[in-house]
């Protein structure tokens, strides 16, 4: 008997193999035959097979070496069979009822995505706290949000058709801010739901996450540089030394608004500054890519 696939769950695995047993236990893949599970990774061996978690509705997708989480998400989105796609990473452990909430989620006709919230794991280290504030401070406590400009794709449900409609963006990966901008420009909404909750269980080392920040910052800089005239790009590049200060201030303001500052170990602020600096270096490099590409006479996305 053919089983209708109601949703596809895409889990991106980057430096986070140690969390897979807990994630698999929460998802209980074999008990949810109506859900397709895609574990996307760039490991040399299949981590799902190694854990004995293979099943008809469970697949591993191996990406090219060096693939980042947005590339892994893209691979899962392209391979997915369901219209409803739930994205997450192996740095997040879903709540016991997360999958049931994904399946029960009501998507309005004008909604392309619904994001959830993140709790930090008990006993989090200073590095864990720095990453949590940098990535999830805006998504740490439920708020009334019929419409928001962005959601965190690490815990989100999207319409696959809306993503595939952005065909020009897909080759570069699922870097969600660019897609969110496109959705809103087309009159579609994003919202936050208090029903979708995951636990942030960071598995990055400081070195690994700093490298991730540089890579993501570079992509952000490239994306930001594309619509700018050459002179504006040059001026923005000259002002790039201010980026880490502006970003650090934004994170602190968001953390203060959610009353997290007192819970962060003092060393957490050192690591926060270090990660922000690495992002700024990446963003400046991305802006420089844009200036160089325009100088060579290449198209807007030739430097992607």
Is residue 188 within 8 A of residue 252, CB to CB? The reply is no
In a domain, 122, yes or no: yes
pLDDT for the residue 224: 75
Same-domain pairing of 265 and 185: no
Enclosing domain of residue 33: 7-200
Q: Which of 182, 200, 218 is a domain's end point?
A: 200
- Give pLDDT, residue 299: 45
49 and 182 within one domain: yes
* Domain match, 176 and 211 both: no
Burial of 110 (0-12, 13-18, 19+ CB in 10 A): exposed
Q: Do residues 263 and 288 share a domain?
A: yes
How would DSSP label each residue in 237-255? HHTGGGHHHHHHHHHHHHH
Give domain status of residue 303, yes or no: no
Domains in the chain, number: 2
Residue 245 lies in a domain: yes
Tell whether 170 and 266 lie within a shared domain.
Answer: no
Q: Same domain for 238 and 174? A: no
What is the pLDDT, as a whole number, of residue 168?
A: 94
Please, are residues 21 and 2 in contact by the beta-carbon 8 Å criterion?
A: no
Whether residue 196 is found in the same domain as residue 213? no
| Predicted structure pTM score | 0.91
Question: Helix axis angle, 230-238 relative to 206-225, nearest 10°?
Answer: 150
104 lies in a domain? yes
Specify if 302 maps to a domain.
Answer: no
194/212 same-domain check: no
252 with 275, same domain: the answer is yes
Alpha-carbon distances, residue 142 vs 32, 115, 176, 177 (angstroms):
28, 11, 21, 20
Spatial separation of the C-alpha atoms in residues 77 and 184, rounded to whole Å: 20
300: left (phi over 0), alpha (psi -120 to 50) or beta: alpha
The contacts of residue 163 (CB under 8 Å, 6+ apart) are: 77, 85, 170, 174, 179
Q: Are residues 143 and 196 in the same domain?
A: yes
**How many Å from the N-terminal Cα to the C-terminal Cα in the chain?**
44
- Please tell me the predicted confidence (pLDDT) of residue 296: 58
Handedness of CA 99, 105, 111, 115 (dihedral sign): negative
Residue after which a domain boundary falls, among 200, 231, 252: 200
Query: E-assigned strands of 161-233?
Result: 189-200
The low-confidence residues of the chain, meaning pLDDT below 70, are 1, 144, 227, 230-231, 233, 290-304
Last residue of a domain, one of 200, 232, 252: 200
- DSSP letter, residue 202: -
Express each pLDDT in 116-135 by its tens digit.
Answer: 999 999 999 999 999 999 99
Establish if 41 belongs to a structural domain. Answer: yes
**Residue 300 forms part of a structural domain:** no
CATH number at residue 67: 3.90.550.10
- Rounded CA gap, 21 and 32, in Å? 17
Same-domain pairing of 71 and 182: yes
Domain assignment present for residue 180? The answer is yes
Helix axes 176-185, 206-225, angle to 10 degrees: 30
| pLDDT tens-digit readout, 160-208 | 999 999 999 999 999 999 999 999 999 999 999 999 999 999 999 999 9
């Amino acid at each position: 008997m053919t089983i209708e696939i109601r949703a596809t769950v895409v889990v991106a695995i980057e430096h986070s193999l140690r969390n897979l047993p807990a994630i698999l236990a929460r998802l209980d893949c074999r008990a949810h035959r109506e859900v397709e599970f895609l574990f996307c990774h760039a490991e040399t061996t299949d981590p799902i097979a190694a854990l004995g978690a293979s099943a008809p509705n469970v697949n591993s997708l191996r990406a090219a070496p060096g693939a980042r989480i947005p590339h892994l998400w893209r691979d899962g989105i392209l391979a997915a069979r369901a219209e409803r796609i739930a994205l997450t990473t192996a740095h997040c452990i879903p709540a016991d009822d997360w999958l049931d909430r994904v399946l029960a989620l009501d998507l309005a006709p004008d909604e392309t995505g619904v994001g959830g919230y993140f709790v930090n794991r008990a006993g989090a280290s200073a590095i864990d706290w720095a990453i949590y504030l940098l990535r999830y401070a805006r998504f740490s406590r439920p708020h009334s949000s019929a419409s928001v400009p962005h959601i965190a794709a690490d815990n989100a449900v999207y319409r696959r058709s809306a993503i595939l409609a952005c065909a020009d963006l897909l080759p570069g990966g699922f870097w969600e801010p660019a897609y969110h901008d496109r959705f809103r420009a087309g009159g579609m909404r994003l919202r936050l739901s208090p029903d979708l909750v995951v636990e942030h269980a960071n598995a990055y080392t400081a070195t690994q996450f700093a490298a991730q920040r540089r890579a993501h910052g570079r992509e952000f800089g490239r994306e930001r540089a594309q619509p700018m005239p050459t002179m504006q790009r040059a001026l923005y590049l000259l002002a790039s030394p201010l980026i880490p200060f502006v970003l650090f201030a934004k994170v602190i303001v968001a953390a203060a608004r959610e009353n997290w500052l007192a819970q962060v170990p003092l060393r957490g602020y050192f690591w926060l500054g270090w990660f922000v600096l690495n992002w700024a270096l990446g963003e400046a490099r991305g802006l420089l890519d844009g200036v160089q590409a325009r100088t060579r006479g290449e198209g807007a996305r030739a430097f992607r």
